[in-house]
A and B are shown apart, each in its own frame.
Chain A
Amino acid sequence: MSNQRQASSASQVPHLSPAELSYLYTSLSLPKSSIRPDGRSPTQFRPLTAETNILPGTNGSARVGFADGTQAIVGVKAEVEKTVLSNETVDARSEFGISEDRGEQEGSAAVGGHGSWVQMSIEIPGFRDDDALPVFLSEMMRESLVGAVGSAEASDMTGGLKGRLVINKRWHWRLYIDVLLLSQPLSYPLPLLSLTTHLALLSTKLPKLKSQGEEDPFFDDDWAVAEYLYPRVSLSSAKHSARSPFVRPPVTLLVISVGENIIFDPNREEIAVADAVLAISITRDSEAGNLKLLSIRTVDPPSRLTQPGIPNSENVNMLGAVASTEDVAVLNPATGEEEVPGVWRPRRGGVKRSVIAEMVKTVLKKGGVGEEVLEGLEGVEVS
């Protein structure tokens, strides 16, 4: 039971003693200069290897492996499907004024696309596919995928991914994204799965449409002329601008806060002492190349489940052996709780607004973490 609970939380909590947790927390929360156990800077990511187009039987695929041996493979398959406009929604609209908005959405699905056209499933060894972790993760990544609405003037990507899937009023593409995690989740798998999905979508191609307008769709059977789902930069235009001004699939970054510090791509030990764990989804969706924040989700921090340390003043074995002045409770500026330095207390979650604002700023600013990640992924050769 406890095993289940841990698994549904941010990650399996490593076996660290309260003293170790406290040490880790103190070094990570050092003002302005956190010291991470693996020596990375706060915004530095773990090294990874990536390749795309590894499965010839899919529309797009990618494999990403972190140095610690966790690997994920994503395959994207697309199918043509008839667009069904349900009569129910039309009825509902006329009967209840309240559901007007929903009815409007359904009715315009033929033009703007519909979120249910993208399906995502995650396979994690040791978990059933209806367990909490895979379901939560897939929904978290799917919602940012379909939520991205392009504001670009570019004809293809208006309406974001959903709009791209529309063929004509009666037909549309349905996208199946299958994620396989090949190893046990050593750390919270969200960054790995999100990066892999991003790469797979970048390499996804759809056959070129030969029919026009409202005809039944008919495709060119030459795979060499197939078009990318997310249009790629042509070599000539890439020379003009350093970064690509095109719509890109979203990336979800895992960020933790420890004290006042913000730490990106945390490993398992770092998550175990985090005050708050946030999943931030960003995308690039306009010609200007600005990043856009899609969603912020909080993830249940596993530090809630850790064992507390006992200060000497409350320890029966230490009674009288210690001077009362040695441990005086001080107010932790980050959490507003009274704490004895060096004694671990389980975090209760919660994060200050200023910290969240700082996180978003670090991700979105020019030359910030978000841009760095997207550029790094762009650099992976899509053959």
Chain B
Amino acid sequence: MPLDTSTTYPLTKLRLDGRRWNELRLLQAQISTNPASSGSSYLSMGNTAIMCSVHGPAEGRRGDASGAGGSAGAIVDVEVNVAGFAGVDRKRRAGGSDKQSSRIATTLRSAFQSHLHTYLYPHSTISIHVSVLSADGSLLAAAINACTLALVDAGIPMPGLLCGCTAGMSGSASTPRDPRHDELDPLLDLSLPEEQELPVLTVGTTTSVPVGENNMDDEEGDMKVAVLTMDSKLHYTYIETMLAVGMDGCNQIRELLEGVIKGSSRA
């Protein structure tokens, strides 16, 4: 019997690693792991492990400062490095970086460039270095969370924690959804085997900037989607479900990350 989600999930309602549809993997995180950088973090979601370090805000290199963006606010510079030993098989990369890591870097750069209060640091550069130590799905989401923690550790102001999570469907979902008898379940926080087999979407949310006096009694707090990427094909009727599940996952992750940040200040 082939072990994949689309055949076993409808029978058992359990995923390959034994989780239910709405369960996150074990998330462990630590901040201030590297004293040589302004801010650093280690984050693992299941078997995905990421280390992130932030340098700056510091004066940019001379070449970069001539850019028009530099005068208005800080430039966010992201470098992503997937270690050769991260996957199951050792992967040899030709030249400097591969397609996957440069895509993650671009997404992170645009996400944090608009998320951080960069206008406070004109003529400077915030450089983020992400090393993927072990890759088991949801790389982008884990990288977003690790970067957020490292940026918090570096003390760079931001309106709220930017948290990422993945969501998928438990089948190929290529035909329109039938609301009367739903046979596909949305899945939260996909691992690598699931990610390769099923449609998957990465969502990153942040809480809105607290403005005005009546913001306090708004107990739930507005969530804003800051990052949304999807590579796979899927019928559009499923998007809403997946997005809702993904945003709920982001909420859970935000609570966990807040716990990490508050816990580390006590020590």
Q: Which residues does A use to contact B, with CB under 8 Å?
A: 55-58, 61, 65, 68-71, 73, 75-77, 79, 121, 123, 125, 128-130, 176, 178, 180, 182-184, 186
Q: Would you list 27 pairs from A and B whose C-beta atoms are within 8 A, ordered by A residue? A: A55-B49, A55-B133, A55-B134, A56-B134, A57-B85, A57-B86, A57-B87, A57-B88, A58-B85, A61-B85, A69-B34, A69-B36, A73-B51, A73-B131, A73-B133, A75-B83, A75-B84, A76-B85, A79-B90, A123-B83, A125-B81, A129-B93, A130-B95, A178-B84, A180-B133, A183-B36, A186-B36
Q: Which residues does B use to contact A, with CB under 8 Å?
A: 34-37, 47, 49, 51, 53, 55, 79, 81, 83-90, 93, 95-96, 129, 131, 133-134
Assess whether A70 is in contact with B36, with CB atoms less than 8 Å apart. yes
Question: If the complex has contacts A128-B96, A176-B84, are A182 and B89 also in contact, measured as CB distance less than 8 A?
Answer: no
A121 cross-chain contacts in B, Cβ below 8 A: 84
Q: How far is the CA of A178 from the CA of B86 in the complex (A)?
A: 10
Assess whether A57 is in contact with B47, with CB atoms less than 8 Å apart. yes
Q: How many A-B residue pairs have CB under 8 A?
A: 73
B81 cross-chain contacts in A, Cβ below 8 A: 123, 125, 180
By beta carbon, the residue of chain B nearest A79 is B90
B95 cross-chain contacts in A, Cβ below 8 A: 128-130
Q: How far is the CA of A275 from the CA of B49 in the complex (A)?
A: 43
Q: Nearest 4 A-B pairs (CB), nearest first?
A: A69-B36, A75-B85, A69-B35, A178-B84
Assess whether A178 is in contact with B35, with CB atoms less than 8 Å apart. no
Question: If the complex has contacts A75-B84, A123-B83, A129-B96, are A183 and B53 also in contact, measured as CB distance less than 8 A?
Answer: yes
Q: How far is the CA of A79 from the CA of B79 in the complex (A)?
A: 29
Assess whether B37 is in contact with A77, with CB atoms less than 8 Å apart. no
By beta carbon, the residue of chain B nearest A61 is B85
Q: How far is the CB of A23 from chain B (nearest CB, A)?
A: 26
A77 cross-chain contacts in B, Cβ below 8 A: 84-85, 90
Assess whether B85 is in contact with A182, with CB atoms less than 8 Å apart. no
Q: How far is the CA of A77 from the CA of B129 in the complex (A)?
A: 24
B35 cross-chain contacts in A, Cβ below 8 A: 68-69
B53 cross-chain contacts in A, Cβ below 8 A: 182-183
Assess whether B134 is in contact with A182, with CB atoms less than 8 Å apart. no
By beta carbon, the residue of chain A nearest B79 is A125
Assess whether B85 is in contact with A176, with CB atoms less than 8 Å apart. yes
Question: If the complex has contacts A56-B134, A128-B96, are A178 and B34 also in contact, measured as CB distance less than 8 A?
Answer: no
B84 cross-chain contacts in A, Cβ below 8 A: 75, 77, 121, 176, 178
Most buried by B among A56, A57, A70, A121: A57
Assess whether B37 is in contact with A183, with CB atoms less than 8 Å apart. yes
A180 cross-chain contacts in B, Cβ below 8 A: 81, 83, 131, 133
Q: How far is the CA of A129 from the CA of B101 in the complex (A)?
A: 15
**Given A180-B133, A183-B34, 9 other A-B residues pairs in contact with their CB atoms under 8 A:** A56-B47, A57-B85, A69-B34, A69-B37, A73-B51, A128-B96, A129-B93, A129-B96, A130-B95
Assess whether B36 is in contact with A68, with CB atoms less than 8 Å apart. yes
B90 cross-chain contacts in A, Cβ below 8 A: 77, 79, 176, 178
Assess whether A71 is in contact with B36, with CB atoms less than 8 Å apart. yes
Assess whether B83 is in contact with A184, with CB atoms less than 8 Å apart. no
Assess whether A182 is in contact with B49, with CB atoms less than 8 Å apart. no
Q: How far is the CA of A73 from the CA of B133 in the complex (A)?
A: 9
By beta carbon, the residue of chain B nearest A68 is B36
Q: How far is the CA of A310 from the CA of B133 in the complex (A)?
A: 51
Question: If the complex has contacts A55-B49, A123-B83, A125-B129, are A182 and B88 also in contact, measured as CB distance less than 8 A?
Answer: no
Q: How far is the CA of A73 from the CA of B95 in the complex (A)?
A: 21
